[in-house]
């Protein structure tokens, strides 16, 4: 089968690799039919560290079930499903606590499309093995286009779950999203608006993304660089900047007693402005996103069109063009689909 492999910085190629097989009870073989680039993929293509190359890229997809190890599975061959980024068992203590991204049955951060917790294949590949399939896979309702749902595997659900707990508890919460990557911050804006947030502010250093956030219903502020803090009384701040100055700005812009959700991935250890925060009682929530359990709720909003990520997406592109597109990505989030998924 064809596998899209990152072999080093800006070195991406299709390789012929042995197809995965069913190897344990609970396994499914799934053929990705719509795959999107996570914001992290754009960084990995340029600079894969700390992930050791080569590895198959891609961890956001909708796929079609090709084979199942268990005859009595509630899943069925031919079904379209969202494949979450994380590999998780569903039964360990962390999975039972709703933290499948911290599953104790697999190496730390085991996922598709990286190499840090083992090699599980990538979701641009023609076929992947999904262990504990019944726990991990969420059936896609037929009315929802795979193109729109691919990112529910990671960024879309990540953004949704960054804002939902606070908005459920405090529907009037003032929300600030500190953007900086292609899709995550904008998806957080769309999610907050879909969940009924009355006050959503978006800050970014990129004018194009600011325009999209404004169109999505946010009040927008912009500057050439991240300020120390933004004026406002923000109950919930989402850091989607992937910049250490954005991290600082997000933390210092959170009102006393508020919640700051870090959805950026920092490979290093960004400095925490500890004394500046001392006395504020700010709650800090750190990733990774535990996508799987929340995918059904995201699909519900996609199904009734309360949430429409299409302004944030680019494509659909052919998988045949994946190398070219991922090496020189559009400003929006690229989605690749197979002809039978269009």
Q: How many CB atoms lie within 10 A of CB 293?
A: 18
Binding residues for Zn ion restricted to 205-244, rule: CB under 5 A:
none
CB 185 within 8 A of CB 153: no
Binding residues for Zn ion restricted to 19-48, rule: CB under 5 A:
38, 40
Structure tokens at 63: 């796929």
- Residue nearer to Zn ion on the CB measure, 98 or 141: 98
Size of residue set near Zn ion by CB under 5 A: 9
Task: Give least dist CB 308 to Zn ion, A.
Answer: 21
ω before 29 within 30° of 0 (cis)?
no
Report how far residue 324's alpha carbon sits from residue 342's, in angstroms, rounded to the nearest whole number. 21
Task: Give least dist CB 41 to Zn ion, A.
Answer: 7
Identify the helix (H) or strand (E) that includes residue 238: strand 234-239
Among 17-25, 69-77, 82-90, 295-303, the segment contacting Zn ion (CB under 5 A): 82-90
Task: Give least dist CB 40 to Zn ion, A.
Answer: 4
Whose CA is closest to 182, among 241, 232, 95?
Answer: 241
Whose CA is closest to 85, among 138, 49, 45, 46?
Answer: 138
Of residues 1, 66, 92, 277, which one binds Zn ion by CB under 5 A?
92
Among 151-159, 168-176, 255-263, 278-286, the segment contacting Zn ion (CB under 5 A): 151-159
Structure tokens at 44: 């990995």
- How would you label 35-67 residue by residue, b for 16+ Cβ within 10 Å and e otherwise? bbbbbbbbebbeebeebeebbbbbbbbbbbbbe
- Residue nearer to Zn ion on the CB measure, 66 or 92: 92
Among 28-36, 89-97, 234-242, 276-284, the segment contacting Zn ion (CB under 5 A): 89-97
Query: Mind giving me the DSSP string for 96-112?
Result: HTT-GGG-TTSSTT-BT
Of residues 28, 44, 95, 282, which one binds Zn ion by CB under 5 A?
95
Task: Give least dist CB 42 to Zn ion, A.
Answer: 10
Work out whether the CA dihedral 255, 257, 259, 265 comes out positive or negative.
positive
- Residue nearer to Zn ion on the CB measure, 103 or 186: 103
Task: Give least dist CB 78 to Zn ion, A.
Answer: 27
CA dihedral 315, 83, 122, 18 (to 10 degrees): -120
CB 186 within 8 A of CB 179: yes
Among 93-101, 195-203, 234-242, 330-338, the segment contacting Zn ion (CB under 5 A): 93-101
Examine residue 6 and tell whether it contacts Zn ion (CB under 5 A): no
Task: Give least dist CB 103 to Zn ion, A.
Answer: 3
- Residue nearer to Zn ion on the CB measure, 103 or 216: 103
Of residues 62, 82, 89, 194, which one binds Zn ion by CB under 5 A?
89
- Residue nearer to Zn ion on the CB measure, 181 or 254: 181
- Residue nearer to Zn ion on the CB measure, 52 or 304: 52
CA atoms within 13 A on the CB side of 321: 14
Task: Give least dist CB 95 to Zn ion, A.
Answer: 3
- Is 323 buried (19+), middle (13-18) or exposed (0-12) by CB count in 10 A? middle
Among 85-93, 202-210, 243-251, 300-308, the segment contacting Zn ion (CB under 5 A): 85-93
Binding residues for Zn ion restricted to 101-120, rule: CB under 5 A:
103, 105
Structure tokens at 174: 């003032």
Where does this chain bind Zn ion (CB under 5 A)? 38, 40, 88-89, 92, 95, 103, 105, 154
């Amino acid at each position: 089968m064809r596998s899209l492999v990152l072999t080093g910085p800006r070195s991406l190629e299709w390789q012929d690799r042995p197809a995965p097989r069913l190897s344990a009870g609970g396994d499914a073989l799934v053929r990705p039919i719509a795959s999107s680039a996570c914001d992290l993929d754009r960084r990995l293509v340029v600079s894969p560290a700390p992930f050791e190359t080569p590895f198959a890229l891609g961890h956001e997809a909708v796929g079609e079930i090709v084979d199942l190890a268990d005859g009595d599975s509630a899943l069925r061959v031919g079904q379209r499903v969202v494949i979450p980024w994380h590999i998780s068992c569903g039964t360990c203590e962390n999975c039972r606590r709703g933290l499948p991204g911290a599953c104790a049955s697999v190496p730390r951060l085991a996922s598709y499309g990286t190499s840090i917790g083992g090699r599980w294949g990538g979701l641009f590949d023609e076929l992947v093995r999904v262990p504990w399939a019944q726990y991990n896979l969420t059936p896609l309702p037929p009315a929802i286009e795979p193109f729109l749902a691919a990112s529910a595997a990671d960024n879309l659900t990540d953004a949704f779950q960054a804002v939902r707990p606070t908005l459920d508890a405090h529907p009037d919460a003032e929300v600030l999203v500190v953007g900086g990557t292609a899709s995550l911050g904008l998806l957080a804006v769309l999610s907050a608006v879909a969940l009924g947030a009355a006050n959503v502010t978006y800050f970014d250093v990129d004018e194009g993304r600011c325009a999209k956030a404004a169109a999505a219903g946010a009040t927008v502020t912009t500057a050439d660089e991240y300020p120390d803090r933004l004026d406002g009384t923000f109950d919930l701040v989402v850091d989607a900047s992937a910049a250490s100055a954005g991290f600082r700005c997000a933390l210092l812009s959170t009102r006393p007693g508020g919640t700051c959700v870090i959805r950026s991935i920092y490979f290093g250890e960004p400095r925490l402005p500890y004394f500046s925060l001392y006395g504020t009682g700010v709650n800090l929530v750190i990733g990774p996103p535990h996508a799987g359990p929340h995918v059904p709720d995201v699909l519900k909003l996609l199904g009734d069109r309360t949430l429409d990520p299409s302004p944030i997406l680019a494509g659909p592109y052919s998988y045949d063009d994946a190398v070219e597109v991922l090496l020189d990505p559009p400003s929006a989030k690229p989605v690749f689909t197979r002809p039978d998924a269009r």
